[in-house]
């Protein structure tokens, strides 16, 4: 009997005759309402690929690399939910375009396709433009990732140019379940021509037990609940009870429920953007701060190009008929929404059982966390990586890493076959809230620290400048010899003399502020995590 994998590959051969990109009917030739001075300098393809197993049509949008599309790696991006569209991530996080309030489109200077070919997949079918939704079966993670695995076979048959190139799987949030499940399939049942090289997951929902016990610790550590409320939760909510209360379990006690309710009410969590505690929420037409269901709150970045109402603009744009025609949506007009509530989905409580196999496969593995996210906070993530989960061994201890702007960008620690990195000041959707540092982290993950330190990066004009000379090398941490101490002493005397002269000068004339030139990184400043 032929195996399922054999059938998938055989069926994929049907599409091989359409693989010539030059004549590809999925090529996107225009972006409606594009209004940006920068021309579109990359090719892109969008449309449906049918799955042989059940006929579902999976919608994808492929954006080629701006640099070397014929040699750069291929990256798959999956948003979470479950049931949220990866086109949300496309337009509000890491894709090349951003929708304005007037539904015009501008470029995202921090797009992840600068040096990678990125394919955004709407999964499972029933989400976004991927159709149809199967009402007769209940979706779960095994089913969903089996369909993504099947999609990859079709994709590689249609685009053989990516054969044997490094392939990475990335995503965020519930992709903490999706990605390990898919990675497990790719490791245990390799697909022909798919050179699976690694995975990266942001703020990943991974293990219910480890993460549920970290919520109150996070709120307390960020000054959002009082010590009295925190102590009451610790007293009345042992671990098993706390997990039950956070997930509607039968073992939730009245005392624990009351302690949690009191703490959350005092923290005004209903008025907070839980995905980015330092950001604003989108104000709806009635002037009230609105909470959109599930995954739909987007942050006010204060420093990027994405606004807190980016979801609404994206939804309105993707529902324009001219847009759906441009990206080859079939079957008539589709009412596109970011996250579907129509899918009956059985969530997995954990993906930890997949890690032992995939971590032994020699893959590059990056788990990253924006430290301003309450939904899947970095405390819980550290717990499942260590004592409450995988119990991985530290091989390179905790240390700071720096962005291309020479600012401290977060912290990183390397474990056996896995790297954990935080992004300072970033929320649940890291590329939206810290776009420059997210881009740098991503490209260092793909190419290595030494390579990405030589890349040029966008000048983030909305970042505060430190006043430092950004062309100057970072000070060395090597031991100082006696000669250096002599120069330090000499410098101190010289500084004192100059300070006195400066004071006299200041008394005579009004000083002017210096202008700091913001330049791209050329010095050896780079994240400390390794490939």
> Which positions are annotated as active-site residues?
173, 373, 428
Helix 4-12, helix 141-158: angle, nearest 10:
30
Cβ atoms within 10 Å of 417's Cβ, excluding its own: 18
Burial of 34 (0-12, 13-18, 19+ CB in 10 A): middle
Give, for 437, the enclosing helix (H) or strand (E).
helix 435-447
Q: How far apart are CA 439 and CA 441, in angstroms?
A: 5
Q: How far apart are CA 35 and CA 320, in angstroms?
A: 16
> How many residues are there in the chain?
531
Q: How far apart are CA 256 and CA 378, in angstroms?
A: 23
**Of residues 312, 373, 307, 376, the one with CA closest to residue 339:** 312
Listed in sequence order, the residues at least 6 apart from 288 whose beta carbon sits closer than 8 Å to its beta carbon are none
Answer yes or no: are the C-beta atoms of 427 and 299 closer than 8 Å: yes
Parallel/antiparallel/unpaired status of strands 345-346 and 139-140? parallel
Burial pattern 106-121, b for ≥16 Cβ within 10 A else e, equals bbbbbbbbbbbbbbbb
Q: How far apart are CA 385 and CA 363, in angstroms?
A: 16
Tally the C-alpha atoms within 13 A of residue 220's C-alpha that lie toward its C-beta. 17
Burial pattern 38-72, b for ≥16 Cβ within 10 A else e, equals eebeebbbbbbbbbbeeebbbbbbbbbbbeebeeb
Provide the strand spans (E) within 163-220.
Answer: 166-172, 195-202
Provide the strand spans (E) within 334-463.
Answer: 345-346, 364-370, 394-402, 408-415, 418-423
DSSP summary character for residue 307: -
Q: Is residue 393 left, alpha or beta, with left meaning phi > 0 and alpha meaning psi from -120 to 50?
A: beta
Dig out the tokens for 49 from the structure.
Answer: 């690929």
3-state secondary structure 340-377: CCCCCEECCCECHHHHHHHHCCCCEEEEEEECCCCCCC
Q: How far apart are CA 84 and CA 350, in angstroms?
A: 19
Burial pattern 133-144, b for ≥16 Cβ within 10 A else e, equals ebeeeebbbeeb
């Amino acid at each position: 009997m032929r195996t399922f994998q054999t059938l998938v590959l055989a069926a994929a051969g049907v599409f091989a005759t359409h693989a010539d990109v030059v004549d590809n009917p999925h090529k996107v030739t225009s972006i409606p309402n594009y209004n940006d001075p920068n021309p579109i300098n990359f090719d892109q393809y969008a449309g449906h690929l049918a799955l042989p197993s059940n006929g579902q049509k999976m919608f994808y949008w492929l954006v080629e690399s701006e640099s070397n599309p014929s040699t750069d790696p291929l990256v798959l991006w999956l948003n979470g939910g479950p049931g949220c569209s990866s086109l949300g991530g496309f337009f509000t996080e890491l894709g090349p375009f951003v929708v304005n309030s007037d539904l015009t489109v501008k470029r995202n200077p921090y797009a992840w396709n600068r040096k990678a070919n990125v394919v955004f997949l709407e999964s499972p079918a029933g989400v976004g433009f991927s159709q149809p939704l199967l009402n007769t079966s209940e979706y779960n993670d095994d089913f969903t990732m089996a369909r993504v695995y099947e999609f990859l076979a079709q994709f590689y048959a249609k685009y053989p140019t990516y054969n044997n190139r490094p392939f990475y799987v990335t995503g965020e949030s519930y992709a903490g379940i999706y990605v390990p499940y898919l990675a497990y399939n790719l490791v245990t049942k390799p697909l022909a021509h798919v050179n699976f090289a690694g995975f990266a997951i942001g703020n990943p929902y991974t293990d219910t037990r480890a993460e549920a016990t970290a919520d109150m610790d996070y709120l307390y550590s960020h000054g959002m609940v009082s010590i009295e409320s925190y102590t009451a939760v610790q007293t009345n909510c042992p671990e098993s009870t706390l997990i039950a209360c956070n997930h509607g379990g039968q073992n939730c006690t009245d005392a624990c429920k009351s302690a949690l309710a009191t703490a959350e009410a005092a923290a005004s969590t209903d008025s907070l953007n839980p995905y980015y505690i330092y950001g604003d929420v989108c104000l709806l037409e009635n002037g009230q701060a609105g909470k959109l269901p599930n995954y739909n709150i987007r942050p006010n970045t204060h420093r990027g190009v994405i606004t807190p109402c980016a979801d609404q603009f994206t939804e309105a744009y993707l529902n324009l008929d001219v847009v759906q025609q441009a990206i080859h949506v079939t079957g008539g007009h589709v009412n596109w929404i970011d996250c579907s509530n129509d899918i009956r989905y059985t969530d997995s409580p954990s993906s930890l059982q997949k890690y032992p196999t995939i971590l032994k496969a020699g893959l590059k593995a990056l788990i990253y966390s924006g430290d301003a996210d309450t939904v899947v906070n970095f405390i819980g993530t550290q717990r499942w990586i260590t004592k409450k989960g995988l119990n991985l061994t530290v091989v390179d201890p905790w240390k700071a890493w720096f962005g291309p702007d020479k600012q401290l960008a977060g912290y990183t620690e390397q474990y056996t076959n896995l790297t954990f990195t935080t992004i300072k000041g970033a929320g649940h959707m890291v590329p939206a809230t810290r776009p420059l540092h997210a881009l740098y982290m991503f490209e260092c993950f793909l190419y290595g620290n030494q390579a990405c330190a030589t890349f040029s990066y966008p000048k983030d004009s909305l970042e505060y400048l430190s006043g430092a000379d950004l062309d100057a090398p970072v000070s060395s941490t090597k031991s100082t010899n006696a000669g250096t101490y002599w120069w330090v002493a000499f410098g101190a005397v010289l500084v004192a003399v100059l300070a006195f002269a400066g004071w006299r000068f200041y008394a005579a004339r009004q000083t002017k502020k210096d202008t700091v030139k913001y330049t791209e990184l050329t010095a050896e400043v780079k994240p400390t995590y390794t490939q």
